[in-house]
Chain A
Amino acid sequence: MDELVEAFAERRPSGLEQAYALWSPLFLSVARHIISDRANAEDCVHDALLRVWRAPNRFSGSREMLKGYLVACVRNEALTTLRRESRHDARALKAARLDPVPAVDAPSVDPVETQRLQGALARLPEDQRIALMLAYYGNKTQVEIAKEVDAPLGTIKSRISMAMRKLHAELASPGGNRW
């Protein structure tokens, strides 16, 4: 098993520290895309990582899977925080949801991966790509997407699901493993 994954699964401090050293800009970028306040976004990263690390887990996958899992946890934590706060301030939620897809000139978290990703996204059917972009970069719920593109909820679900599977097939292909 990968040494980092093993350290993480055994809840050794070095597991969390190594994961942080490798991916902390990614984690914070994910949180800040949802929560613009820096301190709150850092709280999210801290809380999410610590919760995962403390909970008994049964990782046995690759390093790439651990990374995906942690990124998903950070995103979830940030979305939960956003939704909790939005009960107090509906305008904040609206502003965050209307946040556009990342500006083209801002440096991305991982330029090499971004390039691969953009190629793969471009090869998706347009309706699938739009649904996925609204979900991920637009931080919209499936119901909101259905309303926005005027399609049934079930259709939106399958478009996003198909898009994710196709991206997986492309991005996980040889040359895709960057570790």
Chain B
Amino acid sequence: MTEHHLSEDAELYPLGILDDDAARNVELHIALCSDCAQRVAQAQAVAASLAAALPRAMPSPALERRLRESVRPRQAAKLRASLLPFALAAAFALAFLGLGWQALVLRERLQSDDVALVTMVHSHFNHVSMAPQSANPVAAKILYARDGSWIYIIADKPGGALHAIARTASATTDLGALTSSGETATLLAHPRERIVTITLQRAGTNVASAKLTY
């Protein structure tokens, strides 16, 4: 569109080696001239390739959190505000379901786990009592998201270390050990695939199991 297109500055600009006046001139020009904007874009792609050879640095999780809060400030605030009501609602739901003994544990767990909170606030959950197995079974219940995105296992008086084994349509995975706290042991997981059955094991013996329906 202009008589004089950009000089070599179009290729130098993405490297950040122009002085301020020259850089500003490039910016003004490409705002109006699509030919030169195309040249600059191509040079930027080359500069990104040059960056591929730099030593790799991994960002901290805090950076992602900051960015997310910067672009979703209202949602972050809304979510925090919804923390307490949800925890209370969960506690009531559990009491209603006859699960009073873990309500407190769940509430504490929720407050300490943002990820769980985010997913739980935005989804509905199901619950199931696990069927006792073996001579020395354990009483346990499972809360899980209807979309399969999280699962929360609560065992009463575990009587030793408990392990949760999950079976999906394609594989069997060890979800790890439940964490004991007082009279209960709990485990929160975010499975990649929808879990079909959960089995709890104590010292390699099955002590409870449940089928999950969605």
Collect the chain A residues with CB atoms within 8 Å of residue B11's CB. 160-161, 164-165
Does B49 make an interface contact (CB < 8 A)? yes
Which chain A residues in 44-81 approach chain B with CB under 8 Å? 45-46, 49-50, 53, 61, 64-65, 67-69, 71-72, 75-76, 79
The docked-state distance in angstroms from the alpha carbon of A69 to that of B48 is: 8
CB closest chain-B residue, reference A164: B11
Does A173 make an interface contact (CB < 8 A)? no
Of B67-75, B108-116, B164-172, which stretch is located at the interface?
Answer: B67-75
Does B135 make an interface contact (CB < 8 A)? no
- Chain B min CB distance to A145 (Å): 8
Collect the chain A residues with CB atoms within 8 Å of residue B54's CB. 29-30, 33, 102, 108-109, 137
Of B57-65, B122-130, B198-206, which stretch is located at the interface?
Answer: B57-65
A136, B50: Cβ atoms closer than 8 Å: yes
CB closest chain-B residue, reference A80: B16
Collect the chain A residues with CB atoms within 8 Å of residue B66's CB. 46
Collect the chain A residues with CB atoms within 8 Å of residue B212's CB. none
B55, A102: Cβ atoms closer than 8 Å: yes
A25, B57: Cβ atoms closer than 8 Å: yes
Collect the chain B residues with CB atoms within 8 Å of residue A67's CB. 45, 48
A103, B45: Cβ atoms closer than 8 Å: no
Of B36-44, B85-93, B97-105, B146-154, which stretch is located at the interface?
Answer: B36-44
Does A89 make an interface contact (CB < 8 A)? no
Does B33 make an interface contact (CB < 8 A)? no
Does A126 make an interface contact (CB < 8 A)? no
CB closest chain-A residue, reference B71: A13
A69, B67: Cβ atoms closer than 8 Å: no
The docked-state distance in angstroms from the alpha carbon of A102 to that of B60 is: 22
B53, A168: Cβ atoms closer than 8 Å: no
Given known A-B contacts A25-B58, A45-B59, A108-B52, A68 and B44 have beta carbons under 8 A apart: yes
The docked-state distance in angstroms from the alpha carbon of A70 to that of B171 is: 40
The docked-state distance in angstroms from the alpha carbon of A79 to that of B63 is: 20
The docked-state distance in angstroms from the alpha carbon of A141 to that of B51 is: 17
Collect the chain B residues with CB atoms within 8 Å of residue A118's CB. 53
Collect the chain A residues with CB atoms within 8 Å of residue B42's CB. 168, 172
Given known A-B contacts A20-B67, A29-B55, A118-B53, A168 and B16 have beta carbons under 8 A apart: no
A69: which of B8, B15, B44, B50 is its contact (CB, 8 Å)?
B44
The docked-state distance in angstroms from the alpha carbon of A117 to that of B45 is: 12
Given known A-B contacts A13-B72, A20-B64, A168-B46, A72 and B56 have beta carbons under 8 A apart: no
The docked-state distance in angstroms from the alpha carbon of A40 to that of B98 is: 52
The docked-state distance in angstroms from the alpha carbon of A6 to that of B140 is: 47
Binding site for B on A (CB under 8 A): 13, 16-17, 20, 24-33, 38, 41-42, 45-46, 49-50, 53, 61, 64-65, 67-69, 71-72, 75-76, 79, 102-103, 106-110, 113-114, 116-118, 132, 135-137, 140-142, 145, 157-158, 160-161, 164-165, 167-168, 171-172
Supply 15 further A-B pairs (C-beta < 8 A) apart from A26-B52, A64-B48: A25-B56, A29-B56, A49-B67, A67-B45, A68-B48, A72-B14, A72-B16, A102-B55, A106-B56, A107-B55, A108-B52, A114-B52, A161-B8, A164-B46, A167-B49
